[in-house]
Amino acid sequence: MSLVVLEDICLAYGKKTILDGFGLRIAEADRIGLVGANGSGKTSLLRLISNTTVPDRGVVRCAKDVRVGYLPQDIAIESQDTLENFVLRSVPGRDALGAALEAAEKRLEDCSRKEDVEGTMEVATELADLHEQK
């Protein structure tokens, strides 16, 4: 089964043709690396696959549950931010998981202060479950 299919793709910027009659199928087990000279169409291909560019001709299809991630060449990262944090912010559900983890850690701290062994075990189990969901 193909996860991504490009058929008869044509793409031009002004008078410069980037892709002409291009086709590609990416199967479930495929791992792809794009290598090429500057201006050879690598970024254009990724933009087509991620649906951020529409081809002049042809069809781009992705399987129902396929998620395509694309990190543009020119990105705005705040100077105090790390690349790791920038990438992690794109993970779906990360904020909710982080909030649940913080709440569970606070409950664990509260239980520890009260010497509440039963409550501590309950929160520790909850924390373990949160870490397994990653």
Question: Percent of the chain having pLDDT more than 70?
Answer: 78
Q: What are phi and psi of 7, to 5 degrees?
A: -125, 125
Q: What DSSP string describes 23-71?
A: EEEEETT--------TTSSHHHHHHHHTTSS--SEEEEEE-TT------
Can you tell me the distance from the alpha carbon of 48 to that of 9, in angstroms, rounded to the nearest whole number? Answer: 9
Global pTM? Answer: 0.53
Pairwise pLDDT comparison (122 vs 118), residue with the higher score: 122
DSSP helix/strand/coil, 11 = strand
The string of pLDDT tens digits covering residues 6-40 is 999 999 999 999 999 999 999 988 888 888 888 88
Would you state the pLDDT for residue 54?
94
